[in-house]
Amino acid sequence: MNTLSKVRKRNKLESDGVWGYLFIAVALTTFAMFTAYPFVSAFIISLQKYKPLGSTYIGLDNYTATLKDALFWKSMKNTVVYTILTVPVNLFISFAIAIMVLPFSKKTQSFFKAVYYLPVVASGVALSVVWLWIFDALPGGILNQVFQFFGIPSQNWLGSSSTSMFSLVLMSWLSSHGTSIIIYLAGLLGIDETYYEAAELDGANFVQKVWHIVIPSLRPATLFLLVTGVIGSFQVFQNAYLMTGGGPDNATTMVGLLIFNNAFTYFEFGKAAAQSLVLAFVIAIISFIQFKYAGKNVEY
């Protein structure tokens, strides 16, 4: 290789390196502006009795008040119950729908993908209005009409502490699963056909193929959906805010809604910042446990 070729190769490598650093800089800048800075600001505010003018440093008092706050623990309990009731069922529903859509042609699969993904891009407020109509306490509400058909009296779905949480859970079960279905379908389409052929030669039935081939092959997708689903459920806010406002008697007050109320209703920004960091710590611990125990034998 002559000297000119060596110089050109070195210049190309240096040029590629510059472009690499530029792309990394964009990602780092975005992370610093929208993740690191808000996190550090929340931590600083959590140590203050925050006021727009003249904040006072109070140390860990906001954290102490949070841990002694009965409403915080009730909202945490509500959030855990909501997560336990929604995430596994939503995963199963998405998996089942993906299995049912898989045998269709590519064109039909695309149709079902569009249908199931449509609620994801729809406005959450519009969807909540529809669900408010479904859960209407009057006899004209859709769900009450169904119950009346079977001779069951009308229920105050969102206004009763015994049914309000179930109503939010039911809304989650029957709402958008578009993203999960598409991820599961992509995973199903990536499974080697020879696995099914070998299973059929061995006389495996549909359930055995699902159990021994499909579920193990989709383990990475399931782990991803499980982790993101739990994080999303712990951060749930919109449904509780729009459907019940946290009531009745705080039966549907989630942690996200409690933080919002403390910050923008009672203007206790320091306490809200402390509660948000406690929530972030809880989510980090749960995510770590999920990766440690559910992430075994998963290749990334």
227 and 256, same domain (yes or no): yes
Residue 81 lies in a domain: yes
Residue 290 lies in a domain: yes
Which CATH number fits the domain that encloses residue 235? 1.10.3720.10
pLDDT of residue 292: 87
Q: What is the mean pLDDT of residues 29-43?
A: 93
pLDDT at 261 over 90: yes
Tell me the average pLDDT of the chain: 89
Residue 9 lies in a domain: no
pLDDT at 300 over 70: no
78 and 45, same domain (yes or no): no
Going by C-alpha positions, the residue among 270, 200, 287, 262 that lies closest to residue 55 is 270
**Upstream peptide bond of 248 is cis (omega within 30 degrees of 0):** yes
Residue 150 lies in a domain: yes
250 and 216, same domain (yes or no): yes
- Neighbouring CB atoms inside 10 A of 38's CB total 12
pTM over 0.75: yes
Q: What is the pLDDT of residues 63-93, one digit of tens each?
A: 999 999 999 999 999 999 999 999 999 999 9
Q: What is the pLDDT of residues 138-167, one digit of tens each?
A: 877 888 898 888 888 888 889 888 899 999
35 and 172, same domain (yes or no): no
Provide, rounded to the nearest whole percent, the portion of the chain with pLDDT above 70: 97
Residue 215 lies in a domain: yes
pLDDT of residue 2: 65
Residue 147 lies in a domain: yes
Residue 210 lies in a domain: yes
Q: What is the mean pLDDT of residues 85-108?
A: 93
205 and 169, same domain (yes or no): yes
Q: What is the mean pLDDT of residues 164-183?
A: 90
Q: Which of 5, 29, 57 is the last residue of a domain?
A: 57
Q: Amino acid identity, residue 203? A: G
23 and 116, same domain (yes or no): no
Measured in whole angstroms, the distance separating CA 260 from the mean position of its chain's CA atoms is 18
pLDDT at 1 over 60: no
81 and 113, same domain (yes or no): yes
187 and 208, same domain (yes or no): yes
Provide, rounded to the nearest whole percent, the portion of the chain with pLDDT above 90: 54
299: pLDDT confidence band, cut at 50, 70 and 90?
A: low
Pick 161 or 52 by higher pLDDT: 161
Q: Which of 7, 25, 57 is the last residue of a domain?
A: 57
Q: How many structural domains compose the chain?
A: 2
Which range marks the domain in which residue 184 is found?
Answer: 60-295
48 and 132, same domain (yes or no): no
CB burial of residue 48 (10 Å; 0-12, 13-18, 19+): middle
103 and 197, same domain (yes or no): yes
21: pLDDT confidence band, cut at 50, 70 and 90?
A: confident
Euclidean distance between CA atoms 36 and 271, whole angstroms? 20
49 and 176, same domain (yes or no): no
pLDDT at 16 over 80: no
139 and 285, same domain (yes or no): yes
Residue 288 sits at φ, ψ, to 5 deg, of: -60, -45
